[in-house]
């Protein structure tokens, strides 16, 4: 450790000149290094390094002024509807273009794994490509039911990014088919 | 043969360089540190492949706990004060300077605005241990939340909305918050997620 030599009574020797002792300028830095590293450890532990990421979501504006008739309706054969239910299940169906008494609707449920939802989206992309010539024409309607978890919504949005689906929207499940589906899977849609 | 004398070497090492390094690192950490905000409620954010980091400033943060309680926070202390003034006006509440100061340092809170003065009177430790009831959105709508959104955005036009929801929060509570946002003409917001390793 650092030591200090204090000259004691060295100057009382007759007529000799008082000579101050040359002291070493070296200081023991061990303690300072200790302190430095201690503080580093503290700051490292207190820092948040991994900044959370964000996912931007745009919702269609709630404009009551827009006349529904001005917007051309989207061809249902270009779409796929995903209804997010509880217990990590996605119910998906394709609405028919025209609904009449003979319309049959197939409803299937998958999970959020790469073999589940991703397969459905990819298959649908290929179907749309075959029918309309462009993969990007696929429009995914995401309809989360109230009992689904936030994680599910994030997973689905993620799946859109992974599969390169550019057209999708989070919608309220409020067309008649949705009510039927919700009823089928035993959930209210509100 | 004469004995070979091994010269005794001093065991002291020159610490100067090590000291330099230690303090250099220390400076770096001090400058880059952003302290973890005190968590009012434990929230486990869902993982995603999104890569956009959360912006540093102009953030209006909403937290939704697993049980649907909603918490609100602004990142800038000046905006917080301005917001409190407007709230005081709108809800006819008088805040003492001490309460205002307490509010200035409040990262995140969630309760009926009329309960705020009582909460702010507590000392910081007690405040951290109080369980906050969360902002309410009931059947009649989230009037207070909408006011908060409106006032904050009037004070700072560049505010971006970040929603931090626990991954097992029900969509119902999330949807209610979004509806409140949309009622105030906010159609763009960010969901806070954690980075997922690779594309599983």
pLDDT at site B24: 92
pLDDT at site B200: 46
ipTM here: 0.73
CATH of A74-184, one of 3.90.580, 3.30.420, 3.90.1280, 3.30.70: 3.30.420
A33, A53, A157 ranked by CB distance to B15: nearest = A33
Instruction: Break chain A into its structural domains and give their ranges.
Output: 74-184
Q: What is the mean pLDDT of each run of 10 residues along chain A (190 residues)?
A: 53 62 80 89 78 78 60 75 83 77 75 83 85 81 85 86 84 74 67
Contact A52 B33 (CB under 8 A): no
Instruction: Break chain B into its structural domains and give their ranges.
Output: 59-195
Q: How far is B17 from chain A (nearest CA, A)?
A: 10
Cα of B35 vs its chain's centroid, Å: 10
The total of other beta-carbon atoms located within 10 Å of residue B36's CB is 10
Mutate to test the interface with A, among B13, B49, B166 (most CBs of A within 10 A): B49
Q: Residue B173 burial by CB count (10 A; 0-12/13-18/19+): exposed, middle or buried? A: buried
Q: How far is A77 from chain B (nearest CA, A)?
A: 28
The dihedral formed by the CA atoms of A12, A14, A16 and A19, expressed in degrees to the nearest 10: 0
Q: Give the span between the Cα atoms of A153 and A172, in whole angstroms.
A: 13
Q: pTM of the entire structure?
A: 0.72
pLDDT at site A38: 92
Percent of chain B with pLDDT over 70: 93
pLDDT at site B155: 84
pLDDT at site A42: 87
């Amino acid at each position: 450790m650092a030591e200090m030599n204090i000259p004691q009574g060295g100057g009382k020797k007759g007529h000799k000149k008082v000579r101050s002792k040359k002291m070493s300028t070296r200081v023991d830095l061990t303690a300072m290094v200790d302190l430095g590293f201690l503080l580093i450890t503290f700051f490292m532990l207190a820092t948040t390094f991994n900044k959370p990421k964000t996912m931007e979501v745009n919702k269609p504006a709630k404009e009551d002024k827009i006349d529904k008739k001005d917007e051309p309706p989207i061809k249902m054969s270009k779409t796929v509807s995903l209804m997010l239910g509880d217990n990590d299940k996605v119910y998906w169906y394709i609405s028919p273009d025209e609904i009449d008494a003979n319309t049959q609707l197939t409803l299937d449920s998958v999970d959020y794994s790469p073999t589940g939802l991703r397969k459905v989206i990819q298959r649908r992309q290929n179907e749309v490509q075959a029918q309309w010539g462009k993969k990007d024409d696929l429009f995914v309607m995401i309809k989360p039911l109230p009992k689904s978890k936030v994680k599910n919504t994030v997973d689905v949005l993620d799946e859109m990014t992974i599969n390169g689906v550019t057209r999708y929207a989070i919608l309220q499940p409020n067309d008649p088919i949705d009510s039927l589906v919700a009823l089928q899977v035993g959930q209210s849609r509100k | 043969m004469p004995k070979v004398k091994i010269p005794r070497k001093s065991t002291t090492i020159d610490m100067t360089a090590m000291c330099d390094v230690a303090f250099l690192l220390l400076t770096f950490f001090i400058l880059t540190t952003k302290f973890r905000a005190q968590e009012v409620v434990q929230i486990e954010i869902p993982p995603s492949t999104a890569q956009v980091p959360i912006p540093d400033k102009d953030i209006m943060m909403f937290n939704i706990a697993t049980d649907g309680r909603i918490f609100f926070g602004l990142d800038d202390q000046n905006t917080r004060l301005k917001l409190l003034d407007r709230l005081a006006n709108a809800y006819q509440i008088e805040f003492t300077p001490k309460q205002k100061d307490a509010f200035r340092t409040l990262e995140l809170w969630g309760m009926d605005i009329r309960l705020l003065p009582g909460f702010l009177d507590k000392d910081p430790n007690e405040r951290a241990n109080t369980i906050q009831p969360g902002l309410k959105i009931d059947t009649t709508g989230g009037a207070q939340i909408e006011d908060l959104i409106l006032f904050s955005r009037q004070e700072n036009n560049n505010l971006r909305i970040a929603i931090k929801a626990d991954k097992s929060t029900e969509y119902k509570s999330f949807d209610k918050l979004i509806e409140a946002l949309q009622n105030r003409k906010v159609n763009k917001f960010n969901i806070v997620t954690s980075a997922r390793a690779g594309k599983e």
